[in-house]
Structure 1
Amino acid sequence: MRLIKRSLYSNDPEVRFPHNASDLISTSRLAKLRAKFKTQKPISGMEGDIMEVGDLKHNPDDMTTIHVEVHVKSSSTAERSDVKMHVLALLKRHCVVFGVYRWTEFDEDFLTKHVQSVAIVDTERKPIDLKSCCLSIHIFVLNEDGPSTLTLEEDEELSAANHWLLPAAEFHGIWESLVYDSGVKTQLLDYVSTTIYFSDKNVDSNLISWNRVVLLHGPPGTGKTSLCKALAQKLSIRLANRYTYGQFVEINSHSLFSKWFSESGKLVTKMFQKIQQLIDDKEALVFVLIDEVESLTAARNASQAGTEPSDAIRVVNSVLTQLDQIKRHPNVVILTTSNVTEKIDLAFVDRADIKQYIGPPSVEGIFSIYLSCLQELMKCQIIYPRQQLLTMFELETMGFRECNVSELSLVLRNIATKSKGLSGRALRKLPFLAHALFVKTPTVSLERFLEAMDLAVDKQIEERTQLLNCV
């Protein structure tokens, strides 16, 4: 038995769009998307059938569910059923893979013409026999339009938030680029899936409470905002059979005070009325992000202490009241981030179901970040010739023994160890700085580039120490 939802990617005239969201998404934009996408329905695996509620699988044989994401080219006119057939044939030809695996080149014309990539995602690092698994295949086309601005005044460009229609090309690849050690990405996926499952089962929220609020906190540069965007993107793909489309609304809490100070309460209400228009369409999965939420709670505390005007506390209380109202809807997830955890008051913290700390990556995480950067530079032939680098798992399997095969990978491991304490943002910049400051030639060998990276790490640590000493 299957629960099938109509999709935005459909030519069916009965497909419902957010009829009250003209301020958010133009009619022409929706028409273009309707014409571009095809009907998407749940897809069976190689063997057996999968019962689905949204994207929650209930497999009577307790077989492992493997998620396969198929990125179809925006220029493709192929039917989804044809894409599914060719992807299943590809998976049957390569029925054993090792962990996460991605095809970007294909041995048949159809996939080459219509498909950008096929990826087995979110799996453990071990051999997987696809014939013994249930496959959940997610076919999607990226929306290539950039963000739009949500405005509140007809006669004035008063920016309230940015919003994207999901899945968005701008968010593509962020999920894979974020490296965490605690399984936080899987936990967040499971959290949202469970909220939807409980809602579908009509669980009484007065007896079992969940608020649909996530708080990610930690030092700057650790990828909290990027993780929120990546989570929304991933779920818009993963839950396409449950919801027609995804919508991501990003509110910068600083703009609430810098632009809304004189009429704060009224304008906050107007903003959430526009968000409510999206939520009213139950075919839409809506993500609302409040970045740096501590600025709201800090302002409330300062106002109560008499150091800020009373209008500030009206802004905060209005926002929190509106959040309490929209979180009652089953198709909304509220994502918040904070750089200064101690400034968040308990009233807000109590609203969050998940309070996840996001810290600097471990040595293994740093190694993975650097490895992905070096592979990209080799692909672009900035590092040339291409040379093999082992993963941390492969080095561990070898007992970190030094030989011709592992020599450069061990050098990279030493650089990763030295980099411990740097933020993810700093780590992603470091290969660029290494090339700019210490290479000074268009192309460079891997050995020479690793030397440059080592020098760049030393410079980053020195600069950080000098800044701390000045504080």
Structure 2
Amino acid sequence: MEFAKKLIESNPLFNAGIGLGVLGFGAAIFRKGMSQTYKILQKKYIISMEIPSKDPSFPWVLDFLSKNELKNKMLKKNKSNFLFKLKPLPPNKLSVNTDFIKRENGSTSHSFNLNPGIGSYFSQYNGKYFFVERTREAKMIDLKNGSPWETLTLTTLSMDKDIFLNILEDAKKEASLNETGKLVLYTSWGVDWKQFGLPKRKRNFDSVVLDNNIAENLLMDVKNFLKNGSWYFKRGIPYRRGYLLHGPPGSGKTSFIQALAGELDYNICLLNLSERGMTDDKLAHLLNQVPPRSFVLLEDIDAAFPARSEATENTTPKSMHPPLLTLSGLLNALDGVQSSEERIIFMTTNHLSKLDAALIRPGRVDVKQLIDNVTDYQIKKLFLKFFENEEEKSKIFLSKIKEIMLKCNKTLSAAQLQGHFVLFKDNVDEVIENVDKLFD
């Protein structure tokens, strides 16, 4: 036994194996200790915020991170302390958004906005460093915008969750500055709303000339509705309002709605009921997901749902492809059990008589307003908008217009009149001389 013990102790291979075993055991213990330590640190001192691409804040934060990098560069030029000598690692991949901006003179300029692309990098905000990671799922699609599903994750050493709330608030403020003084249009994309193009310049409320007090009365009615939410709730009345503007083409119905939205600092959600794939369920979902401070606009409602007698005449029993969206589905979405609250809907039509009575009853349409062809008041008012201080010539123009209208028994739309003014915008006398061209 003594001999065997000495033989084992003198064997270098055996001793090396023991040494390796001890090292391996020690490494395993170290790794486990480090893992446990990391988990404790991660639980107590590391916080993360994950933003999926379907969340409205996703584009805000992306744009904010891009602008924040530029601010950091400016700060580093003016600071000499240790904090600003630590240079954040910029994104190794970038994505670009190209914006086209219309100038006052009608020309168009463009700008390229570089946002963090897919990948990871470090950023800095209010003296804190963040690890930013943008990932993309190859096989998943975001139904909101049709693009691949993405996630943006921000991680930092901190115990204060409010820092993420501050980032979100600042990102929202930056996004709001881009929309200040502008009108945002939304269209339906799948079962969600998607911004259509760039924000448009708001139209001045007095740029649309309607007959005496029509514009002012509608504005007053909407304002009165907006400030009386508690009155509706206390009485158990659904807090929603529907408006129907009817009249001939070119009378200014849609233009007025745009001007009204601008006056109230609202946006517009354009909803096409004839859109391919529109169903009762999809419509109900869209009307329940309207972005804040937005009108819903249903244009040419008569084209989607004529009166039932007419619809019956035009529908044959042999039809193999009935419409996916039904009149009953629209009626339920407007004021049924599944309809939303705090909603303003505008409908337009050129043919009031073609609409089903159930569609325009009170509760679905609360205000019906005729926007007709131009009156004497509108003719004069529009003339003076294009040719200021030409009071006498406006009377001559009005007199000629009335004479021709009486003779040929015709009327004029606001769009026709505006087109005539634009055609001869440089010479007021030519506007009067060529008045007969309005009736060609």
Superposition TM-score, scaled by structure 2 size: 0.52
Runs of 4+ in 1 over 6 A off after TM superposition: 33-36
Q: Any unmatched runs of 5+ in structure 1?
A: 1-18, 37-138, 154-159, 237-245, 376-387, 391-405, 436-443, 464-471
Q: How far off is 1:34 after superposition?
A: 12
Q: Distance in 2 between matches of 1:162 and 1:455?
A: 48
Question: Does the CA contact (< 8 Å) of 1:222 and 1:425 recur in 2?
Answer: yes
Q: Distance in 1 between matches of 2:415 and 2:65?
A: 37
Distance 1:164 1:33, change over 3 A: farther
| Secondary structure of 1:304 counterpart | helix
Which position in structure 1 is the counterpart of 2:269? 249
* Cα root mean square deviation, aligned: 4.0
Question: Does the CA contact (< 8 Å) of 2:187 and 2:195 recur in 1?
Answer: yes
Q: Distance in 1 between matches of 2:256 and 2:384?
A: 20
Residue 290 of structure 1, aligned match among 290, 298, 320: 298
Q: How far off is 1:232 after superposition?
A: 1.9
Deviations 1:406-450 (A, max 9, x none): 4x3443443454576210111110023346xxxxxxxx5xxxx33
Q: What pairs up with 1:351-366 in 2 under 5 angstroms? A: 351-366=364-379
AA at the equivalent of 2:260:
L
Q: What pairs up with 1:359-378 in 2 under 5 angstroms? A: 359-375=372-388
Q: Distance in 2 between matches of 1:234 and 1:358?
A: 19
Residue 181 of structure 1, aligned match among 204, 211, 216: 211
Q: Distance in 1 between matches of 2:260 and 2:337?
A: 19
Question: Does the CA contact (< 8 Å) of 1:412 and 1:450 recur in 2?
Answer: no
Q: Distance in 2 between matches of 1:327 and 1:214?
A: 20
AA at the equivalent of 2:420:
L
Which position in structure 1 is the counterpart of 2:231? 201
Q: Any unmatched runs of 5+ in structure 2?
A: 1-50, 68-176, 406-410
Distance 1:35 1:214, change over 3 A: farther
Q: How far off is 1:297 after superposition?
A: 2.2
Distance 1:354 1:33, change over 3 A: farther
Distance 1:211 1:275, change over 3 A: closer
Residue 411 of structure 1, aligned match among 381, 388, 396: 396
AA at the equivalent of 1:340:
H
Aligned identity (percent) is 23
AA at the equivalent of 1:293:
I
Q: What pairs up with 1:51-450 in 2 under 5 angstroms? A: 142=180, 147=185, 149-152=187-190, 163=195, 169-173=200-204, 175-206=205-236, 211-236=240-265, 246-253=266-273, 255-256=274-275, 259-260=276-277, 264-265=278-279, 268-278=280-290, 284-298=292-306, 301-305=309-313, 307=315, 309=319, 311-312=322-323, 314-325=325-336, 329-350=340-361, 351-375=364-388, 388-390=389-391, 406=392, 408-415=393-400, 417-418=402-403, 421-434=411-424, 449-450=427-428
AA at the equivalent of 1:248:
I
Which position in structure 2 is the counterpart of 1:6? none
Q: What pairs up with 1:10-89 in 2 under 5 angstroms? A: 22=54, 27-29=58-60
Q: How far off is 1:151 after superposition?
A: 1.5
Q: How far off is 1:218 after superposition?
A: 0.8
Distance 1:214 1:415, change over 3 A: same
| Secondary structure of 1:334 counterpart | strand
Question: Does the CA contact (< 8 Å) of 1:224 and 1:337 recur in 2?
Answer: yes
Q: Distance in 1 between matches of 2:66 and 2:261?
A: 24
Q: Distance in 2 between matches of 1:354 and 1:176?
A: 21
Distance 1:229 1:199, change over 3 A: same
RCO higher in structure (CA 8 A, sep ≥6): 1
AA at the equivalent of 2:419:
K
Which position in structure 1 is the counterpart of 2:115? none
Q: Distance in 2 between matches of 1:164 and 1:192?
A: 25
AA at the equivalent of 1:294:
D
Which position in structure 2 is the counterpart of 1:74? none
Which position in structure 2 is the counterpart of 1:452? 430
